[in-house]
Amino acid sequence: MIGRLNHIAIAVPDLAAAAQQYRTILGAEVGAPQDEPDHGVTVVFIQLPNTKIELLYPLGDDSPIRGFLDKNPSGGIHHMCFEVDDILAARDRLLSEGARVLGSGDPKTGAHGKPVLFLHPKDFNGCLIELEEI
Protein backbone atom coordinates (compact mmCIF):
# COMPACT_ATOMS: atom_id res chain seq x y z
CA MET A 1 0.00 0.00 0.00
CA ILE A 2 2.63 2.59 0.98
CA GLY A 3 5.01 3.72 -1.68
CA ARG A 4 8.10 5.85 -1.74
CA LEU A 5 9.33 7.75 1.30
CA ASN A 6 8.34 11.32 0.45
CA HIS A 7 10.06 13.09 3.35
CA ILE A 8 11.21 12.99 6.93
CA ALA A 9 10.03 15.97 8.98
CA ILE A 10 12.20 17.52 11.68
CA ALA A 11 10.83 20.06 14.15
CA VAL A 12 13.38 22.82 14.74
CA PRO A 13 13.60 25.63 17.32
CA ASP A 14 15.19 28.06 14.81
CA LEU A 15 14.08 27.63 11.21
CA ALA A 16 16.57 30.06 9.66
CA ALA A 17 19.53 28.55 11.52
CA ALA A 18 18.50 24.99 10.61
CA ALA A 19 18.03 25.88 6.93
CA GLN A 20 21.41 27.63 6.89
CA GLN A 21 23.08 24.61 8.47
CA TYR A 22 21.76 22.27 5.76
CA ARG A 23 22.67 24.82 3.05
CA THR A 24 26.23 25.66 4.15
CA ILE A 25 27.53 22.76 6.21
CA LEU A 26 25.87 19.93 4.28
CA GLY A 27 25.69 21.66 0.90
CA ALA A 28 22.02 20.82 0.35
CA GLU A 29 19.50 22.52 -1.90
CA VAL A 30 17.22 24.38 0.52
CA GLY A 31 13.88 25.87 -0.46
CA ALA A 32 12.23 29.03 0.79
CA PRO A 33 10.07 29.03 3.93
CA GLN A 34 6.36 28.56 3.29
CA ASP A 35 3.57 29.08 5.80
CA GLU A 36 0.99 26.31 6.08
CA PRO A 37 -1.76 27.86 8.25
CA ASP A 38 -4.07 24.81 7.98
CA HIS A 39 -1.37 22.76 9.72
CA GLY A 40 0.00 25.48 12.03
CA VAL A 41 3.54 25.30 10.67
CA THR A 42 6.12 27.07 8.56
CA VAL A 43 8.08 24.57 6.47
CA VAL A 44 11.32 24.53 4.54
CA PHE A 45 12.01 21.62 2.19
CA ILE A 46 15.51 20.31 1.62
CA GLN A 47 15.89 18.43 -1.65
CA LEU A 48 17.93 15.24 -1.63
CA PRO A 49 18.58 12.89 -4.55
CA ASN A 50 16.26 10.20 -3.13
CA THR A 51 13.81 12.06 -0.84
CA LYS A 52 13.28 15.33 1.05
CA ILE A 53 13.71 16.65 4.56
CA GLU A 54 10.98 18.95 5.83
CA LEU A 55 12.00 21.41 8.53
CA LEU A 56 9.00 22.37 10.70
CA TYR A 57 8.61 25.50 12.79
CA PRO A 58 5.52 26.60 14.75
CA LEU A 59 3.14 29.02 13.04
CA GLY A 60 1.03 30.56 15.79
CA ASP A 61 0.54 29.71 19.44
CA ASP A 62 -1.78 26.76 18.72
CA SER A 63 0.74 24.96 16.51
CA PRO A 64 1.18 21.26 17.27
CA ILE A 65 4.90 21.82 16.68
CA ARG A 66 5.05 24.23 19.61
CA GLY A 67 3.99 21.43 21.95
CA PHE A 68 6.54 19.09 20.37
CA LEU A 69 9.31 21.66 20.86
CA ASP A 70 8.22 22.29 24.45
CA LYS A 71 8.91 18.60 25.11
CA ASN A 72 11.99 18.52 22.84
CA PRO A 73 13.61 21.98 23.01
CA SER A 74 16.47 21.01 20.68
CA GLY A 75 14.01 19.72 18.07
CA GLY A 76 13.87 16.25 16.59
CA ILE A 77 12.24 13.95 14.09
CA HIS A 78 8.51 14.67 14.06
CA HIS A 79 7.11 12.34 11.38
CA MET A 80 7.73 10.32 8.23
CA CYS A 81 5.66 10.79 5.07
CA PHE A 82 4.91 7.98 2.63
CA GLU A 83 3.26 8.27 -0.76
CA VAL A 84 0.05 6.41 -1.60
CA ASP A 85 -1.77 6.10 -4.92
CA ASP A 86 -5.26 6.64 -3.49
CA ILE A 87 -5.51 8.32 -0.09
CA LEU A 88 -9.17 7.46 0.48
CA ALA A 89 -8.60 3.77 -0.31
CA ALA A 90 -5.54 3.79 1.96
CA ARG A 91 -7.56 5.45 4.75
CA ASP A 92 -10.39 2.94 4.43
CA ARG A 93 -7.99 -0.01 4.48
CA LEU A 94 -6.16 1.35 7.53
CA LEU A 95 -9.41 1.97 9.40
CA SER A 96 -10.57 -1.58 8.61
CA GLU A 97 -7.31 -2.85 10.12
CA GLY A 98 -7.90 -0.85 13.31
CA ALA A 99 -5.46 2.01 12.68
CA ARG A 100 -6.48 5.48 13.84
CA VAL A 101 -6.51 8.43 11.46
CA LEU A 102 -6.01 11.75 13.23
CA GLY A 103 -8.51 14.58 12.91
CA SER A 104 -11.79 14.11 11.09
CA GLY A 105 -10.43 11.40 8.80
CA ASP A 106 -10.90 13.65 5.79
CA PRO A 107 -7.73 14.54 3.91
CA LYS A 108 -6.34 18.06 4.15
CA THR A 109 -4.18 19.78 1.57
CA GLY A 110 -0.52 19.38 2.48
CA ALA A 111 2.54 21.52 1.77
CA HIS A 112 2.90 20.02 -1.73
CA GLY A 113 -0.71 20.89 -2.60
CA LYS A 114 -1.78 17.23 -2.41
CA PRO A 115 -4.18 15.42 -0.05
CA VAL A 116 -2.61 14.21 3.22
CA LEU A 117 -3.66 12.27 6.32
CA PHE A 118 -1.85 11.56 9.57
CA LEU A 119 -1.92 8.25 11.43
CA HIS A 120 -1.78 7.94 15.22
CA PRO A 121 1.78 7.31 16.42
CA LYS A 122 0.62 4.78 19.03
CA ASP A 123 -0.48 2.53 16.17
CA PHE A 124 2.95 2.69 14.47
CA ASN A 125 5.59 2.10 17.14
CA GLY A 126 5.55 5.68 18.38
CA CYS A 127 6.08 7.21 14.93
CA LEU A 128 3.64 9.75 13.50
CA ILE A 129 2.98 8.75 9.89
CA GLU A 130 1.80 11.10 7.16
CA LEU A 131 0.31 9.72 3.96
CA GLU A 132 0.37 11.86 0.83
CA GLU A 133 -1.50 11.02 -2.36
CA ILE A 134 0.71 11.14 -5.44
Residue 100's pLDDT is what? 97
AA letter at 67: G
Active site residues: 130
Number of independent structural domains in the chain: 1
Q: How many CB atoms lie within 10 A of CB 20?
A: 12
According to the model, what pLDDT value does residue 55 have? 98
**How high is the pLDDT of residue 125?**
95
The gap between the terminal CA atoms of the chain, to the nearest Å, is: 12
Low-confidence ranges of the chain (pLDDT < 70): none
Residue-wise burial string across 39-50, b where 16 or more C-beta atoms lie within 10 A, e elsewhere: bbbbbbbbeeee
CATH code of the domain in which 89 resides: 3.10.180.10
pTM above 0.85? yes
Q: Determine the pLDDT at residue 98.
A: 97
Q: What's the pLDDT at 13? A: 98
Q: What is the pLDDT of residue 69?
A: 97
Which sign does the torsion angle of CA 10, 16, 20, 21 carry?
A: negative
Residue 30 is part of which domain span? 5-133
